[in-house]
Amino acid sequence: MQNLLYALIQSVHNLLAVLIVGVGAYGLFFALNPTKRALAAVQSFAWALQGFTGAAFGLTTYHYFHQLPDIHGVAIAALLIKIGCVVLGFAFAATYVLFGPQFSKVVDKIFWWPMFLFGVLALSSAAFLRWFS
């Protein structure tokens, strides 16, 4: 049962990561202004769920082993990077939902770069977290 739970969490977590990076790339390179606010709303929701599923890994381990996962070194650094990306990615996306329509084209472009790059960085850090833990 434990492995099934981990696999389900991992599947949702991975799909959210793809959604975050894809929405960020689309918003940065292809989307027209009227759709960008909706894209940012999707991305902020995906970031919130990404944080929830990330926490679910630790909670699942705690439930079955009565302790948090035993990680150290590179894995802790990768986890902290991922947590930072979730917080900042959500903050940027939520800010865009609230204020994006008021942004100039230059500020709009500048704002979408981190929204895309936080997803790429979090996804890349996942590999280090997985293989160094």
3-state DSSP call for residue 112? helix
Question: Angle between the 2-29 and 33-65 helix axes, to the nearest 10 degrees?
Answer: 160
Predicted TM-score of the model (pTM):
0.93
| Integer Cα distance of 93 and 49 in angstroms | 13
Assess contact for 20 and 71: CB atoms under 8 A. Answer: no
User: What rounded mean pLDDT belongs to the chain?
Assistant: 94
pLDDT value of residue 31: 81
Q: Which two tokens stand for residue 14?
A: 């991975």
Mean pLDDT of 85-92: 98
Assess contact for 96 and 38: CB atoms under 8 A. Answer: no
Asked whether the predicted pLDDT for residue 34 surpasses 90, the reply is no
Asked whether the predicted pLDDT for residue 99 surpasses 90, the reply is yes
83 sits in the region (left: phi over 0; alpha: psi -120 to 50; else beta) called alpha
pLDDT value of residue 101: 87
Asked whether the predicted pLDDT for residue 61 surpasses 90, the reply is yes
Strand spans (E) along 74-119: none
| Integer Cα distance of 32 and 6 in angstroms | 38
3-state DSSP call for residue 1? coil
Mean pLDDT of 55-72: 92
Assess contact for 89 and 30: CB atoms under 8 A. Answer: no
Asked whether the predicted pLDDT for residue 27 surpasses 90, the reply is yes
Asked whether the predicted pLDDT for residue 32 surpasses 90, the reply is no
| CA proximity to 80, closest of 23, 121, 24 | 121
Asked whether the predicted pLDDT for residue 20 surpasses 90, the reply is yes
